[in-house]
């Protein structure tokens, strides 16, 4: 009988300790691990793009660009195409109270607009560009472009691979912790992986891959957490992208473009929270 009572006592104590530990789970505390997936929209400032290759070195000034969101809802839910739209994926870890570090892959799309007037400067050898008739030396001449004869885009895409340092701060939580609101604010930086499409001089090259430059950004978001393990977050981000060598022809290293611009992005993501052992050196739940 005493063995049965001892067993029941130990089970009760263990259950109580486990319940206390579970209640101590903190999404803003050290040991919290998170993963998110979602989709973004982005805007870009006008930029000056310089194009360099055999027989030409010219710049188009004031180039405008837009993103390209997917309009087919099936692409968002189909396993074979859910990475086609402009997506964000991120994994992060709270290394101390209220501070997290994360690694993200932000798939943005950059598409040159046609219709606005641009300004052409530089030199093109005779016979290089029969489609637009650009030949000789230019110094700020106004031109319009046609997508069939000249086009530049990164739609597979302009991928920002970044590390973020984020302050995570809980602004609200229900008594039992079934719902909470957390703010996220910080900075990030990392390389740009470009998949470039370029139509010029009667030749169209698709998805030419290059590590084209770097980005730096700041971000702010609001995360709604449910039952301490699931969340939905809305984020705003803005920063600088410098593409210093976008490869434009797959078989010609010297053919490239370069530009710099500012961008803004908004996204909505869903994610999950996991908790590694959130205990102090005395092996007890911390009192945050």
**Domain ranges (residues) in the chain:** 27-45+66-115+154-275
Q: What pLDDT does 5 receive?
A: 32
CATH number of 27-45+66-115+154-275: 2.40.160.20
Report the alpha-carbon distance of residue 182 to residue 2 in Å, rounded: 49
Distances (CA, A) of 65 to 28, 111, 204, 279: 38, 5, 19, 50
Confidence of residue 278 (pLDDT cuts 50, 70, 90): low
Confidence of residue 279 (pLDDT cuts 50, 70, 90): low
Write out the H or E segment, with its range, that includes residue 245: strand 230-249
Given a contact cutoff of 8 angstroms between Cβ atoms, the answer to whether 41 and 266 are in contact is: yes
Whether the per-residue pLDDT at 191 is higher than 60: the answer is: yes
Given a contact cutoff of 8 angstroms between Cβ atoms, the answer to whether 62 and 112 are in contact is: no
Beta strands at 65-66 and 56-63: parallel, antiparallel or unpaired: unpaired
10 Å CB burial of residue 119 (0-12, 13-18, 19+) is middle
Report the alpha-carbon distance of residue 154 to residue 196 in Å, rounded: 5
Convert the pLDDT of each residue in 50-60 to its tens digit.
Answer: 999 999 999 99
- The set of residues, in sequence order, having a beta carbon less than 8 Å from that of 202 and lying 6+ positions away, is 130, 131
Whether the per-residue pLDDT at 11 is higher than 90: the answer is: no
């Amino acid at each position: 009988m005493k063995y049965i009572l001892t067993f029941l006592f130990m089970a009760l104590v263990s259950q109580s300790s486990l319940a206390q530990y579970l209640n101590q789970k903190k999404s803003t505390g050290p040991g919290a691990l998170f993963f998110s997936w979602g989709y973004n929209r982005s805007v870009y400032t006008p930029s000056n793009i310089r194009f360099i290759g055999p027989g030409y070195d010219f710049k188009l000034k004031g180039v405008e660009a837009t993103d390209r969101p997917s309009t087919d809802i099936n692409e968002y839910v189909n396993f074979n195409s859910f990475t086609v739209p402009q997506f964000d994926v991120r994994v992060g870890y709270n290394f101390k109270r209220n501070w997290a570090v994360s690694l993200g892959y932000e798939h943005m799309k950059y598409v040159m607009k046609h219709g606005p007037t641009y300004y052409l400067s530089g030199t093109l050898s005779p016979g290089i560009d029969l489609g637009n008739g650009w030949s000789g030396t230019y110094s700020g001449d106004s031109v319009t472009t046609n997508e069939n004869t000249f086009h530049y885009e990164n739609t597979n895409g302009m991928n920002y691979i970044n590390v973020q340092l984020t302050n995570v701060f809980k602004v609200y939580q229900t008594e039992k912790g079934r719902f909470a609101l957390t703010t996220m604010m910080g900075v990030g930086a990392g390389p740009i992986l470009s998949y470039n499409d370029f139509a010029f001089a009667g030749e169209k090259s698709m998805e030419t891959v290059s590590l084209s430059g770097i980005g730096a950004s700041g971000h702010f978001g609001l995360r709604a957490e449910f039952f301490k393990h699931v969340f939905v977050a809305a984020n705003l981000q803005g920063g600088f992208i410098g593409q210093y060598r976008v490869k434009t022809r797959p078989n010609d290293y010297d053919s490239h473009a370069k530009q710099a611009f500012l961008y803004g992005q908004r996204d909505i993501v869903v994610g999950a929270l996991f908790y590694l052992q959130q205990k102090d050196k005395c092996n007890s739940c911390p009192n945050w």
